[in-house]
Every structure is written in C-alpha cells, then in structure tokens.
Amino acid sequence: MKIISVVNGPKNISAIVQGCMRMPALSKEDAAKVIRTAYDCGINFYDHATCYGENGEAETRFAEAFPLTGIKREDIFIQSKCGLCFDRNEFDWTKENILQSVDDSLRRLNIEYLDALLLHRPDVLYDPEDVADAFNILEHAGKVRHFGVSNLVPMQIELLKKYVKQPLVFNQVQLSLEQSQLIDQALYMNNKTTEFSVNRDGNALDYCRLHDITIQAWSPLQIGMFGGTFIDNPDFPELNKALEKIAEREGASKTAVAIAWILRHPAKMQAIIGTMNPEHIKDACKAADVNLSHHDWYELYLAAGKYLP
Ligand SMILES: NC(=O)c1ccc[n+]([C@@H]2O[C@H](COP(=O)([O-])OP(=O)(O)OC[C@H]3O[C@@H](n4cnc5c(N)ncnc54)[C@H](OP(=O)(O)O)[C@@H]3O)[C@@H](O)[C@H]2O)c1
C-alpha cells in the first residue's frame, strides 16, 4: 500500500480509503469481511458520513462489525462527514447541527474520537463564526483530531479559513478517469471551442496543493454520480482497452490501473473506493503497486474521451 502523510494532518495514512457509503446493505458479518479485507490489503482509513444510510446506518453497521475484525481502534483512521441532511432536504452547518452530528457519529460508531471530520457540502446559509465555535468545542473536547471539507471551491475554503483556527487538511471531491473535470479545465484553459475548458471548481486542485490540503478523490470508478462503473462497461471501449493493456503488463486488474491513474498524480491524493465486494477491494488495492509512466497517464486520459488542445 502507498502511505502518505498530510502536512498539519494525520501521518501514515493509506492512499486508498475504504468508503462506507454502501455498508448499510450488508450484514454485520459481511461488513466485518469488508473492513478486515481492506485492512489486510493495507487500508487504514475508513470514510463515513452521517447521511450514509437511514439514521447513519453505515456507521452503526461499521460499529457492529468492527469487534469481529480483530483490528484495534487505534490502528485505523475513522473519518466522518456532516452537514448533508437528506432527511430534511437541506445542508446544515449550524453549530448545533455540527455538534449534534459528531455526537451522533461517535455514539453510532461506538468510538471516543473521530480522526477527521469533514463538512460535507456547502451550506449557503452558514455563519463561519458558528463553524469556528463548533470546531473549537470539538477539538477541545478531544472529539475530533483533524478537520476538513468536501466539495468546496477555493474561495469557500478561504472564507472558512478566515474564522476557523484548525488547519483544513482534506478536500473530498469527485475525480475519476470519467469525471476528470478537476484536471480538464487546466489543460484546455481559455479554449472556447470545448466545454472541457469550463472552470467548475475555481482551480481547486492547484489551490489544495498550494495550501497543503490533501484531495480525497471520491467515486474513482463511477460514471457520473451514480451511473455504475466504467470498468468492463461496453459504453467505454477505448478506455477499457487502454486499461486492459496496462493491466496485463502490470499483472493487475483494470480497476487497479484506473485507481493508479489517480495515485500517479503528484498531488499525493487519496482515492476512496466504495465496493463492498472483498475480491474487488483486493483488486483495487493492487493500484498501489501499478507503475504508471508519464506516457501511460496521458494515454489513459485520452482513452477516456479527451484530446490534447
Ligand atoms: N463526498 C462526497 O460527496 C461523496 C459522494 C459519493 C461518494 N463518496 C465516498 O466515496 C466512496 C466511494 O463511492 P462509490 O461507491 O461511488 O465509488 P467507486 O468505488 O467509484 O464505485 C463503486 C462501484 O464500482 C464497482 N466496482 C468496484 N470494483 C469493481 C471491479 N473490480 N469490477 C467491476 N465493478 C467494480 C462497484 O461494484 P461492486 O459493488 O459490485 O464491486 C460499485 O458499483 C463512498 O463510499 C463514500 O465514502 C463521497
């Protein structure tokens, strides 16, 4: 496994993260297999959110399963996210909601502290001083060790940073070979003949690199948001051909190569995988051993339907 350390943040964390969004569908025995398989493959970082499953069921299932794994709490990093309230159809970054969400996550996960708390999606109505208060209380109480955000553009992070005294060390955003907007707009800069040039994120990638914020790439295999995977998908023949060619050479799966494409980027990102299939977890974790050359990286990018301007 590739291990990274975050400036001002956690050290020795795995570059591949096990996402737990799909865990509510599992029995506690199957959830234990997922947690243990990921751990045996070198993953030491698990991603949650208060909105994964009804009433935070992903966190509940994780806690039910965890004692069956034989893993020690202190040997893993547990992250959760708050502020996305599907049940109420709103985003909520009020102090009350942040504090309540963390208490709920800790209770459901049956742990004393979160290694990281991310604000999930921007609440337009939030008051940064309110967030700052909440973070201070959580840090002081030892309930949260590191803080970050998800799906935020640089100016939103700048505004938060004016008030929040804790370093914001993660920005969890969507990135895959199929959803590569984070990278596209820089390549096609200022080109009005293609929509690849549209700057949708305020240069979040370069901003995060400049400010030592580690990008966590969510849904590294997904088409759109919930469109299924492009792996083995007949709608993506060129991409699958290019993945297969490198996979054969590297003795790895196409999944591993697709995730290696993210890890190859010099920004030292994490990739958050979502499969609940232990064999697919093993496949994905081989990404850390795939050696992608400079040329391979571009070849995959182009096979995903892009061109060089
Ligand atoms: N911050 C945010 O806004 C946000 C949003 C969405 C997700 N997330 C995080 O990102 C995590 C991952 O999301 P995701 O589940 O959408 O990501 P993903 O890992 O890109 O997609 C998982 C899909 O890929 C399939 N897959 C995996 N390995 C495969 C293989 N070897 N062959 C064929 N299909 C394969 C899975 O099917 P199988 O189940 O059959 O393996 C599943 O349908 C979530 O758990 C969550 O933690 C964050």
Residue 24 forms part of a structural domain: yes
- Domain range enclosing 234: 3-303
Residue 198 forms part of a structural domain: yes
Q: Residue 36 maps to which CATH number?
A: 3.20.20.100
Report how many domains make up the chain: 1
Q: Half-sphere exposure of 291 toward its Cβ, with a 13 Å CA cutoff?
A: 2
Residue 254 forms part of a structural domain: yes
Cβ burial of 226 (10 Å; 0-12, 13-18, 19+) is: exposed
Residue 309 forms part of a structural domain: no
The response to whether residue 247 sits with its C-beta less than 6 Å from ligand 1 reads: no
pLDDT score for 226: 83
CA 177, 178, 182, 187: dihedral to nearest 10 degrees? 80
Residue 27 forms part of a structural domain: yes
The response to whether residue 19 sits with its C-beta less than 6 Å from ligand 1 reads: yes
pLDDT score for 224: 87
Residue 308 forms part of a structural domain: no
Q: Half-sphere exposure of 202 toward its Cβ, with a 13 Å CA cutoff?
A: 11
Which numbered atom of ligand 1 lies nearest the CA of 232?
A: 33
Residue 292 forms part of a structural domain: yes
Residue 49 forms part of a structural domain: yes
CA distance 261 to 291: 10
The response to whether residue 47 sits with its C-beta less than 6 Å from ligand 1 reads: yes
pTM, two decimal places: 0.96
User: Which residue has the least CA distance to atom 27 on ligand 1?
Assistant: 275
The response to whether residue 59 sits with its C-beta less than 6 Å from ligand 1 reads: no
Which numbered atom of ligand 1 lies nearest the CA of 120?
A: 1
Going from the Cα of 218 to the center of ligand 1, the distance in angstroms, rounded, reads: 8
Going from the Cα of 107 to the center of ligand 1, the distance in angstroms, rounded, reads: 26
Query: Kind and range of the H or E element at 148?
Result: strand 144-150
Q: Consecutive 10-residue runs of the chain (309 residues): their mean pLDDT?
A: 94 98 97 98 98 96 98 98 94 97 98 98 96 98 98 97 98 96 91 91 96 97 90 96 97 97 97 97 95 97 93
